[in-house]
Structure 1
């Protein structure tokens, strides 16, 4: 298991002869205590195409200092990075598989190798509050770095790193102002590896969406956000975080819906294959999660039953089914996210955001094009028969309409009400679908109990309760559907 902590720091570039200012001038800092000196030697790893560096990810093996080991730094919100730390092996130990698995969404089947070596002579100072709390730690670094794949001369520089320990982020702002008074500015580059190898390429700015602007600009912003979501949830899925699979599947559905609803803005021969691959990814990750959703539903129902009506080892039977589902989920995730097909899809999504394959209609004004396309989507659902034979298909159509509204809502706030109505319909129909799957599982659990000589009474009772609930859900769905069909946005 890796040690994990949130790293929030700021780097500054002092001249070679600069002296630390009086750090007790900072609010709440009463002492600046020398904390010793360290000699650090770090080897940095990346793909030949600098996939990790471009994503803001750092993977290194470092000796020396109090935290020697393998470090993986991941960009997170709140202006910091999450650092994972694994212990060192011998002098020639390979990159730990646990860390390689986490960066696989960026490496995509390409091996990582050493790209730079950075040696640092570090002098530490702790910023301490009146009660003894260490608010932050300042590292005065003398650094030597060089690329491992070139004959370039080493780069030398001095750097101050101020990292929060138990202090407030406001401390960093105050320190920056104090340093500026002494002519010391924040470093233009905040990562040592980028000083050695060069800063990562800036991400191209997205066009500003406007009603009078191109319709493609509005869709572009939405597509880029969903691709970023898939990238974020890739890591969450690999770490088995709650909501990871669900989040990735929702991002896939949102992307597919946007590409379908607004397909006249795009060259379909290029985007339809992307839609197909997104659908395949969502389905391949969905089976085990859908089982867990139903298991949670049954567990909640069991908790509501009178004790005398819970007969036999039903809780144990349910937990055994959950363990099997979790095992299936882990195997599926490993296979899917490690596949060449998934890597190819991620490449396609990056290309989709970098250079969308627009049609001529994408240049038309958003206010002239998007409402028409959205009304067409609404018509698809509103003209469906009242007595639909397949409510699951209606649910999928409602989701597509809901996500189509999301695309335009930032510019057309009045899209909020119909979008919420569509969401309500998808939720009710989702509850109905979960009930259908639950009844199938209850029959299976009853058969399993009977085959092992156990009493299946409780499973039969829950099945009956699910059957009784279905007409209510259908009525709710009809009501929600009627609300959706009222809107003529």
Structure 2
């Protein structure tokens, strides 16, 4: 089983090879010499260095106190999440899965070997508690394969102790700068090694810099690209069951699919519709987990609000069994989905779409004209659905109509999100209004689904000879919540419609 830790550090370079005196740093009572460790690390990547392009590092290292496999994902400048696995001869299956959204079907190969003599010092406070570890690394880098180019340098690292205050690093930084030490230009040893041992190429390849969106097509593509990136970047978190990761990935699939449908005059739907169907499939697979999470949270909270006198029978045990049985199966299935060829093919299709977008004539138009027209059209359709639902009598037909309105509110919101960089405040205000409406209608739909689940649980409990009284109480409360939403909807919609400015 792989372990994860948050690594917060800063890297420096200096003309001198030694470590400056750090005893004057506020809070440091002593600097303890921990000796020199000889580290030998082999870094793995694809032949075209896909992991390095995403600032991800995967290495097998011996020596030091944490020999083994280390996979690091960037979180913020100077902050990375490190996932560790025991030493083995091949890339651990768990770590290989966490980089699959980047690697796809490509082979992970050893690309660089780094051998470092690490001179380590511990900075401790008056109680002997570790504040940070400071090391001076004499690094020898060797490119594996090709011409076997090498590079050498010395660098300094300051890594915050687990659970430490990041502000302490500012104090160390201030001290180091006064002694002439400079922040490193490279984000990692691997990044520097790859740069300094890269094969020499004739002529310099011009790097394409990202340009600000100008046309309607530029703005739509920027939004689509954001969702593609989100899906790829959230993949490891979903595999690790990180809180809210499934929901966020599902939202990214919906945003992209919605953009394809709303902006069908910008992106050719003969190309995007098949991709949209695959996104719908992925969202459905992700939804197995997410919908279950929502229902679990809602039922648990509702049960916790009931007086003890209204709780009869082993309902808590029944609910816990339902949660565990459903969740365990869905987690296994979801991991299988992310490992499937169908999913990896979808990621390849998204890459191809972004690199060679199927732009139509309207894509070259002014965003103020093209995008505004799309947002107004989506809002108009939403208006019709909401007004139709309000006119219906309470019951199943109204429930279905409100559910359709909720889906259209999401689509209008996502269209406005894509429009916000071009249209500014008016689109941003619409996004806020749609989010509020979506929340109201979402609460209603959650109540519909919760009541359905309560009916199913009640039937199972009754068949087992258990009391179904509490299920009925919870059902009645959910009916009241849904009725309250329906009663508040006309006024809420009137306010939303009245504030429409796009």
Note whether the superposition's TM-score is higher than 0.5: yes
> Taking structure 1 as reference, are residues 157 and 419 closer, same or farther at Cα in structure 2, changes over 3 Å only?
closer
Instruction: Report the CA distance between 1:319 and its aligned residue.
Output: 0.6
Structure 2 CA distance for aligned equivalents of residues 31 and 57 of structure 1: 34
Mark the CA change 1:181 to 1:300 in structure 2 (over 3 Å): closer, same or farther: closer
> Are the equivalent residues in 2 in contact too, given 1:206–1:221 (CA < 8 A)?
no
Aligned match of 1:122: 118
* CA distance in structure 2 between the aligned counterparts of 1:282 and 1:203, rounded to whole angstroms: 35
Equivalent pair of 2:18/2:136 in contact (CA under 8 Å): no
Does the CA-based 8 Å contact 1:408-1:415 persist in structure 2? Answer: yes
Cα deviations by residue, 1:263-288 (Å, 9 ceiling, x for unpaired) = 32223333233322222211121123
| 1:309 matched to 2:313 | no
Which of 415, 430, 442 in structure 2 is aligned with 1:404? Answer: 415
Deviation at 1:475, TM superposition (A): 2.5
Q: Which sits farther off after the overlay, 140-149 or 323-332?
A: 140-149
Equivalent position of 1:86 in the other structure: 85
Task: Report 1:37-436 matches (<5 A).
Answer: 37-77=36-76, 79-89=78-88, 92=89, 94-129=90-125, 132-165=128-161, 169=166, 172=169, 184-198=181-195, 205-209=209-213, 213-384=214-385, 386-388=387-389, 389=397, 390-410=401-421, 411-436=423-448
Gaps in structure 2 of 5+ consecutive residues: 199-204, 390-396
In structure 2, how many angstroms separate the alpha carbons of the residues matched to 1:24 and 1:252? 52
Deviation of residue 385 (structure 1)?
6.6
Deviation at 1:314, TM superposition (A): 0.8
The residue that corresponds to 2:394 in the other structure is: none
Q: Which moved more, 1:306-315 or 1:353-362?
A: 353-362
In 2, Cα distance between the equivalents of 1:296 and 1:161?
43
Is the contact between residue 8 and residue 79 of structure 1 (CA under 8 Å) also seen in structure 2? Answer: yes
Partners of 1:88 and 1:64 lie apart in 2 by 11
Work out which of the residue numbers 437, 441, 462 in structure 2 matches 1:450.
Answer: 462
Count matched residues: 482
State the 1:253 CA deviation.
1.4
- For 1:23, what is the secondary structure of its paired residue? coil
* Closer/same/farther in 2, CA of residues 332 and 479 from structure 1, 3 Å limit: farther
Deviates more, 1:423-432 or 1:149-158: 149-158
Equivalent residues of 1:289, 1:329 under 8 A apart: no
Q: C-alpha distance in 2, partners of 1:113/1:80? A: 26
1:3: how far off? 3.5
Name the residue aligned to 2:393: none
- In the TM superposition, residue 171 of structure 1 has moved relative to its aligned partner by 5.4
State the TM-score, normalizing by the size of structure 2: 0.87
| Partners of 1:168 and 1:458 in 2: CA distance | 48
CA distance in structure 2 between the partners assigned to 1:202 and 1:394 by the alignment? 49
Once the 2 structures are TM-superposed, how far is the Cα of residue 205 of structure 1 from its aligned partner? 4.3
Assess if the C-alpha contact under 8 Å between 2:292 and 2:327 holds in 1. no
C-alpha displacement of 1:396: 0.7
Equivalent residue number for residue 13 of structure 2: 13
Report the Cα offset of residue 322 of structure 1: 0.1
1:128–1:472 distance in 2 versus 1, CA, 3 Å: closer
Give, in whole Å, the separation in 2 of the partners of 1:459 and 1:181: 68
Closer/same/farther in 2, CA of residues 207 and 384 from structure 1, 3 Å limit = same
Q: CA RMSD in A?
A: 2.8
Asked whether the 8 Å contact 2:261–2:269 carries over to 1, the reply is: no
Comparing 268-277 with 435-444, which one deviates more in the overlay? 268-277
| Inter-partner Cα distance in structure 2 for 1:291 and 1:183 | 56
**Partner in structure 2 of residue 3 of structure 1:** 3
* Residue 201 of structure 2: aligned partner: none
Q: Secondary structure at the match of 1:138?
A: strand
TM-score, scaled relative to structure 1: 0.89
Q: Is the 8 A contact 1:206 1:220 kept in 2?
A: no
Query: How big is the shift at 1:142?
Result: 1.7
